[in-house]
């Protein structure tokens, strides 16, 4: 199983790092807009927080486009 290209990317796929990491027993995720978000008690909690964060970013982008 390979890595799929993102929309608009050429055939050469850039190296992508994981968004999630842990320090001790705490989990964090990285975003382009902010450095690091967390801590979360579990990776699952960090994953859910990332989904909410991405929905918020999409909503903000849609509001900006509509303005």
User: What distance in Å separates the CA atoms of residue 67 and residue 44, rounded to the nearest whole number?
Assistant: 35
The C-alpha atoms of residue 12 and residue 9 are separated, in whole angstroms, by: 8
The answer to whether 48 touches 37, Cβ cutoff 8 Å, is: no
**SS3 assignment, position 40:** strand
Which 8-state DSSP code applies to residue 5? P
Question: DSSP code of 8?
Answer: T
Q: pTM here? A: 0.67
Answer yes or no: is pLDDT of 12 > 80: no
Whole-number pLDDT of residue 9: 61
pLDDT in tens, 13-67: 555 568 999 999 999 999 887 789 999 999 999 999 999 999 998 898 887 777 6
């Amino acid at each position: 199983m390979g890595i799929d290209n993102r929309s608009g990317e050429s055939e050469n796929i850039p190296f992508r790092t994981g968004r999630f990491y842990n320090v001790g027993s705490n989990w964090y995720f990285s975003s382009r807009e902010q450095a690091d978000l967390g801590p979360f008690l579990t990776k699952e909690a960090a994953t859910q927080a990332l989904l909410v964060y991405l929905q918020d970013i999409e909503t903000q982008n849609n509001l900006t486009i509509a303005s």
